[in-house]
């Protein structure tokens, strides 16, 4: 499933570059109004931005994913490695798209 979100992550990076933080904030507010958490994450797993719904989810005790020390963390180490690899693939896809 993580591989399936790669194109979405690459698209999010493109939006970030094209429209900046204002668009991210507006999108996050719209999704948050529907109860959807939305985050922007660097390829290293560093948390760049999160809407209110995502922040609530990340702070929830016992959640499988959390935001600690400015980075997303998954409870299971294997999932964390897969997640980080997916982020790195998304960045490579975005860079390839940016060159065209």
- 48-76 pLDDT, tens digit per residue, is 878 888 888 888 888 888 877 777 788 88
Nearest to 16 by CA among 45, 38, 44: 38
Per-residue pLDDT for 5 more than 70? no
The total number of structural domains in the chain stands at 1
Residue numbers of the domain that contains 16: 2-99
73/75 Cα distance (integer angstroms): 6
10/87 Cα distance (integer angstroms): 8
Coil, helix or strand for 69? coil
pTM of the entire predicted model = 0.54
Nearest to 40 by CA among 25, 29, 30: 25
């Amino acid at each position: 499933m993580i591989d399936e979100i790669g194109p979405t992550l690459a698209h999010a990076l493109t939006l970030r570059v094209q429209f900046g933080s204002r668009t991210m904030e507006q999108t996050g507010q719209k999704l948050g109004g529907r109860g959807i958490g939305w985050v922007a994450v660097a390829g290293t797993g560093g948390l760049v931005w999160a809407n209110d719904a995502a922040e609530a989810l990340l702070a929830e005790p016992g959640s499988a994913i959390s935001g600690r020390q400015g980075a997303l963390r998954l409870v299971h180490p294997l999932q964390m490695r897969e997640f980080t690899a997916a982020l790195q693939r998304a960045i490579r896809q975005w860079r390839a798209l940016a060159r065209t």
